[in-house]
Amino acid sequence: MDLRPIGVFDSGLGGLTVMKELMAQLPYENIIYFGDTARLPYGTRSRETIIKYSMQCIRFLLTQNIKVVVIACNTASSMALDAVREVFDIPIIGVVKPGAAAAVKATRNGRVGIIGTEATVQSGSYARAIASLDSHIQTRSIACSLFVPIVEEGWSDTPIAYLTAERYLGPLKEWGADTLILGCTHYPLLMDTISKVMGPDVILVNPAIGTALEVKRILEQRDMLNKSGQEPEYLYYLSDFSQRFKQIGSRFLNREIEYAGKVDIENY
Ligand code: DGL
């Protein structure tokens, strides 16, 4: 057994959707969350910058005596996972492989749509992960850049969200995708709107769920699961505080965030 916390990082507060699944699947694990709110968004940045930022996030988390790192950010998982695994001697789990595996399991017609940030789509990470599991599955990817600000604005269930989703997802629907990967931390909050556009038969995959199960599997395999039965401790750190971080964070997490510490991430 290992009582040390799980370290989670994201470009901002969206990764709390992944933390929420970790809390649900691993009820006794202590978790430390770091959101790089000062340098958000990652989704429009270059690979080089995303790797540099991810390294700094992990270096900070390592000062917190963590036992594994979870990269909650789809963009960082897509662009930086291989690079950081080469540098750090700690298990690092990203969201792409678990998300791809869930989609491969779910599809019936072999047509999987992928949506994410520009960087995630450009990296081809999900398409590659799917091809490595089943080369017969076809994929199509679309960057949905306006979804992140729409969710942060709290407009997930509004006509604006619906029209935007219609515009982005129309081609995927026409193509006949029967499964859609929500390849960005923010998109699970648009689940209802996306489902309305795609129709009830299209399966929406939230990679956070498979990721939490993968973390559990890895901890079990290494005998690192916290089985103490004690109420866990959750700590939150951010590199910048916006006026609304509590409000936005609580929306992603579905519970109150009472306190968050400030980290000067450029020092790591
Ligand atoms: N967290 C990012 C992701 O999942 C979305 C926000 C950003 O672009 O930084 O890709």
Query: What is the Cα–Cα distance from 152 to 90, expressed in whole angstroms?
Result: 32
Which atom of ligand 1 is the closest one to the Cα of 11? 9
Confidence tier at 117 by pLDDT (50, 70, 90): very high
> The tokens 């790089």 sit on which residue?
36
Active-site choice (19, 50, 58, 73): 73
Confirm or reject: Cβ of 206 under 6 Å from ligand 1. Answer: no
Note the pLDDT tens digit of each residue in 209-227. Answer: 999 999 999 999 999 999 9
Domains, the chain, ordered by start: 6-94+209-267 (3.40.50.1860), 96-207 (3.40.50.1860)
- 5 preceded by a cis bond (ω within 30 of 0): no
What b/e sequence results for 173-210 when a residue is b if at least 16 CB atoms lie within 10 Å of its CB, and e otherwise? eeeebbbbbbbbbbbbbbeebbbebbeeebbbbbbbbb
From the CA of 220, how far away is ligand 1's center (Å)? 29
pLDDT tens digit string along 167-212?
999 999 999 999 999 999 999 999 999 999 999 999 999 999 999 9
Cβ 144 under 6 angstroms from ligand 1? no
184 is catalytic: yes
Atom of ligand 1 nearest to the CA of 10: 1
What integer is the mean pLDDT of 15-42? 97
Task: Indicate whether residue 126 lines ligand 1 (CB < 6 A).
Answer: no
Q: Cα(245)–Cα(207) distance, rounded to whole angstroms?
A: 23
Asked whether 198 and 172 are in contact (CB, 8 A), the reply is yes
CB 26 within 8 A of CB 212: yes
- Looking at residue 242, its pLDDT comes to 78
| Chain segment 61-90, per-residue pLDDT in tens | 999 999 999 999 999 999 999 999 999 999
90 burial (CB, 10 Å; 0-12 / 13-18 / 19+) is middle
* Residue whose CA lies nearest to ligand 1 atom number 8: 43
**Is the confidence at residue 243, as pLDDT, over 90?**
no
Q: Which of 184, 194, 202, 212 is catalytic?
A: 184
| Cβ 147 vs Cβ 183: under 8 Å | no
pLDDT at site 106: 98
Verdict on whether the full-model pTM lies above 0.95: yes
Q: Which atom of ligand 1 is nearest to the CA of 117?
A: 10
Does the beta carbon of 61 lie inside 6 Å of ligand 1? no
Residue 144 designated active-site: no
Distances from the Cα of 220 to the Cα of 61, 66, 258, angstroms: 21, 16, 31
